[in-house]
Amino acid sequence: MIEGSLVYKKAYSFAIRIVKAYQFLQTEKKEFVISKQILRCGTSIGSNIAEANGGISMSDFSAKMSIAYKECL
């Protein structure tokens, strides 16, 4: 099960940091456009990993993990 994996835990921790950065950019810097894009990209990594866990085949799993990897770049 991927929820207990190291990659899932790291994605979750990263998403928490992204949400905090988003809140800082919104409240302190009044930056709205870039902060929303950062929030979408940073939190989608974990959701793509979770979606890969439910893949119907190994190639489906691999494709979804590849999407999660691309979001990291």
DSSP string, 17-66: HHHHHHHHHHHTS---HHHHHHHHHHHHHHHHHHHHHT-SSHHHHHHHHH
Q: Which two tokens stand for residue 46?
A: 């974990």
- The reported pTM is 0.82
Q: Which domains does the chain have, with CATH numbers?
A: 2-72 (1.20.1440.60)
Q: Which two tokens stand for residue 67?
A: 């999407």
pLDDT at 1 over 50: no
- 28-65 pLDDT, tens per residue? 999 999 999 999 999 999 999 989 988 899 999 999 99
